[in-house]
């Protein structure tokens, strides 16, 4: 209860997954809305009007929501779902991460290339290490997760290349700041949805440190 005697509002940063029924931070879930014509729309930017329907950012959980027709049950109406809903979500999240890394690059908060990334790591400037999932494990193992930072390896070399304006990129790094935090949050959601072997070589050790 607040100082004035009014009940405090529930933390706006948490939402309930319709599959697990568990409440968790909203950045670990994906928001959906139902359009006026009954189409289920993934609201990855969380800006669309309407009642939000939330599902954990996990491929198996999303597939379960589809299989059990939970979206329609929660919305209490007939809901039309795209046949490739989960794949559309994966593609959308990958696009968001690429876009955010590109914004960081343009603002001077991101670099790519083995030597530049290594320099940033050595100087303590890098807070997030990005490595392509299809890159050489031997090469990726020569770099390390920033102390107290994060590692992410679920974008392909061509996707990382798009972020840096190149055909292909294996190694990238982000400086600290709010934009990097947004990259981490969307990258974690992509990690949960994307089916990949992870590319977890030596650089992946300790990647969950914060």
Give pLDDT, residue 12: 61
Buried b / exposed e across 116-152, counting CB within 10 Å, b at 16+? ebbebbeeeebbbbbbbbbbeeeebeebbbbeebbbb
Chain centroid offset of residue 36 CA: 28
Chain centroid offset of residue 6 CA: 36
Indicate if the pLDDT at residue 198 is higher than 70.
Answer: no
Domain with CATH 3.30.1330.30 in the chain: 88-204
What tens digit of pLDDT does each residue of 40-57 get? 999 999 999 999 999 999
**What number of other Cβ atoms are within 10 A of residue 167's Cβ?**
9
**What number of other Cβ atoms are within 10 A of residue 195's Cβ?**
9
What tens digit of pLDDT does each residue of 133-187 get? 999 999 999 999 999 999 999 999 999 999 999 999 999 999 998 889 999 999 9
Nearest to 51 by CA among 41, 64, 63: 41
Does domain 88-204 sit in CATH 3.30.1330.30? yes
Domain with CATH 3.30.1230.10 in the chain: 14-81
Q: How confident is the model at residue 201 (pLDDT cuts 50, 70, 90)?
A: very low
Which residue shows structure tokens 């795209």?
A: 82
- Rounded Cα distance, 36 and 127, in Å: 42
CATH no., domain 14-81:
3.30.1230.10
Antiparallel, parallel or unpaired: β 110-112 and 53-56: unpaired
Mean pLDDT over each residue of the chain, to the nearest integer: 89
- Output the six-digit token pair for 198: 């992870």
H helix or E strand, kind and range, residue 98 = helix 85-106
Question: Which of the two residues, 55 and 204, has the higher pLDDT score?
Answer: 55
End-to-end CA distance of the chain: 32
Indicate if the pLDDT at residue 35 is higher than 90.
Answer: yes
What tens digit of pLDDT does each residue of 170-180 get? 999 999 988 89
Q: What is the pTM assigned to this prediction?
A: 0.85
- Rounded Cα distance, 127 and 151, in Å: 9
What is the average pLDDT across 79-107? 96
Query: Are residues 199 and 135 in contact, defined by beta-carbon separation less than 8 angstroms?
Result: yes
């Amino acid at each position: 209860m607040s100082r004035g005697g009014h009940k405090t509002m529930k933390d706006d940063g948490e939402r309930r997954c319709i599959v697990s029924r568990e409440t968790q931070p909203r950045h670990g879930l994906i928001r959906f809305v139902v359009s006026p014509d009954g189409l289920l729309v993934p609201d990855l930017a969380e800006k669309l009007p309407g009642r939000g329907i939330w599902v954990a950012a996990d491929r198996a959980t999303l597939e379960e929501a589809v299989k059990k027709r939970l979206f329609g049950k929660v919305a209490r109406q007939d809901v039309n779902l795209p046949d490739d809903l989960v794949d559309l979500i994966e593609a959308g999240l990958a696009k968001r991460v690429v876009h955010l890394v590109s914004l960081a690059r343009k603002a001077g908060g991101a670099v790519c290339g083995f030597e530049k990334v290594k320099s940033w790591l050595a100087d303590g400037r890098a807070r997030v290490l990005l490595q392509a999932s299809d890159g050489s494990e031997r090469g990726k193992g020569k770099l390390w997760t920033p102390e107290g930072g994060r590692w992410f390896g679920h974008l392909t070399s061509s996707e990382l290349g798009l972020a840096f304006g190149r055909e292909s990129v294996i190694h990238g790094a982000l400086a600290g700041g709010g934009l990097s935090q947004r990259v981490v949050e969307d990258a974690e959601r992509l990690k949960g949805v994307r089916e990949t072997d992870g590319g977890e070589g030596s650089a992946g050790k300790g990647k969950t440190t914060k």
